[in-house]
Amino acid sequence: MTFAYYPGCSLVESAREFDVSVRAVLERFDVEFQEIPDWTCCGASAAESVSHLMNYALPARNLAIVEREMDGVDVIAPCSACYLNLLKVDREVVGDRVLHGKVNEVLAASGLSYSGGVRVRHLLDILLNEVGAEIIRQRVVDPLEGMKVAPYYGCQILRPYSVFDNPRQPSSMTPILEALGAEVHEWDMGARCCGASLMATHQEAALESVAAILSAAEGAEAVVTVCPMCQMNLDAYQPQAVRVGGRRVPVLYLSQLMGLALGMSQEDMLVGQTMSVTETAKKRMRDKAWRVQEPSGESAEEPVGADG
């Protein structure tokens, strides 16, 4: 099965490590994909606050290209906001004759039109339902045994449309993390909002959310996410969030962690691009320091029973 790949703006800007790791992981699982030619911005969560029509026309443009030039294959969107915006066209435009007509009138300005047959899927959906936990388990060469990971889903892959996971208690990352050999950190912050663009407009509110999420990750070796906005908020603003009650913890993309378990290096997965990953954290991941019982102890290499 071939997919149309929609990276979205973040993945070619500040979240390049997400793009690089997603491509590497999909290739490793023989998922064929092709980038949508000449794709443009989906409008993120800003379009709706400016123009009702562009909110639908921007994502529809990309689907129109897939429909016309890629035989209407399914789309993979790794970014949550992109995913929701593309999905919204399917749920809100297709079937609404008046709105659909207007959206096509806007698209006509670029010589395009969209009739509505393209299915939009999130990366997590593909990993879970097309690749599957069993295949993932089989390909793991460097299991993350004993590593406690907090799965962070954010908002827009879960809400308002629940497609492949429960928006109240999401769990779609659990089988994947377990297939990697990791332990799932139990918490109830997985679906809590990170503040999204309030980080730019009303930082005090967003920082409070980020601090609450980070402090709930206590005991986890890393937080993993599948959204560039969530990652940015939890990662880059960590120094400020720590000042209002958060904790320091590496915030990685799920695909980066998968890449590591599949035997790819930290350099290949651009782990060094992540601001919350300190040199110590990198070393811990390399040495699998979490296997040692004492989390703060020196790297005791001796197996149990070797001393005394």
Partner 1 sequence: MTQVAKEAWSPGGAEYDAVLSELRDMVQACMQCGTCTASCPNGAFMDITPRQMWRMVQFGMIDEILDSRTYWYCSSCYTCTMRCPRGLKLTSAMAALKRLAQLSDGAGRRNGAFYSSFMDNVETYGRTQETMLMQNYFLRRRDPMLPLKFLPLGLRMLGKGKLHPPKGDCKGRLGPMFARAREMEGRS
Question: Between residue 279 and residue 308, which ones bind partner 1 under the rule CB under 8 A?
Answer: none
Q: How far is the CB of 159 from partner 1 (least distance, A)?
A: 4
Residue 170, SS3? coil
For the residues of 72-85, what is the DSSP string, one character each?
TPPEEE-SHHHHHH
Q: Segment 36-95, which members bind partner 1 (CB under 8 A)? A: 38-41, 43-55, 57-58, 61
Nearer to partner 1, 124 or 177 (CB): 124
Binding residues among 235-254 for partner 1 as defined by CB under 8 A: 236-237, 239
Mark the segment that binds partner 1 (CB under 8 A) among 19-27, 65-73, 113-121, 197-205.
197-205
The one-letter code for the residue type at 95 is G
Buried b (16+ CB within 10 A) or exposed e, 32-56: ebeebeebebbbbbebeeeeeebbb
Beta-bridge partner residues of 3: 33
CA atoms lying within 13 Å on the CB side of residue 115: 5
Touching partner 1, residues 152-181 (CB under 8 A): 155-156, 159-160, 162, 167
308 token code pair: 């005394």
Q: Which stretch binds partner 1 (CB under 8 A): 19-27, 105-113, 118-126, 286-294?
A: 105-113
> Is 12 among the residues that bind partner 1 (CB under 8 A)?
yes
Nearer to partner 1, 128 or 155 (CB): 155
Letters for 205-224 (x = contact with partner 1 by CB under 8 A, - = none) are xx-xx---------------
For residue 242, the Cα-to-chain-centroid distance in whole angstroms is 23
Q: H-helix or E-strand containing 134?
A: helix 133-139
For residues 266 and 285, the answer to whether their CB atoms sit within 8 Å is: yes
Binding residues for partner 1, rule: CB under 8 A, are: 9-10, 12-14, 16, 38-41, 43-55, 57-58, 61, 102, 105-110, 155-156, 159-160, 162, 167, 192-193, 195-198, 200-206, 208-209, 236-237, 239, 272-273, 275
